Amino acid sequence: MKKQILLIAASMVWAAGNALAADAAENWAKNCASCHAKDGSGNTMMGKKSGVESYADPKVQAKFTDEEAFKSISEGKGKMKAFKDKLTPEEIKALVAHIRAFKK
């Protein structure tokens, strides 16, 4: 019985994790990919114009901490506008994790 409950709990956590990942990918495609590109490379017209760097590059990833990325996304940085009115802190945190996954 205990084992069954554990299994149910584990599959619920797994489903919730998947839902979050899907949201981050969707939010990225909707709000960020126009500049940063779908794959995080920054290889878009807007990206080239505004000077975004490739998040596939570990050196670029090392330039900011998760906290700094969170702040830049929330409050804006350089040519990037603030997203705190559009996205919840949870969504922004999920986007930071999404960005880290672009690293090669």
User: Of 8 and 79, which CB lies nearer to ligand HEC in the complex structure?
Assistant: 79
User: Of 13 and 81, which CB lies nearer to ligand HEC in the complex structure?
Assistant: 81
Q: Which stretches of the chain bind ligand HEC, using CB under 6 A? A: 31-32, 34-36, 46, 50-52, 63-64, 68-69, 72-73, 77-80, 83, 95, 99
What is the dihedral angle through the alpha carbons of 26, 84, 49, 27, rounded to the nearest 10 degrees? 0
Please name the helix (run of DSSP H) or strand (run of DSSP E) that holds residue 8, with its range, or none. Answer: helix 2-27
User: Of 54 and 83, which CB lies nearer to ligand HEC in the complex structure?
Assistant: 83
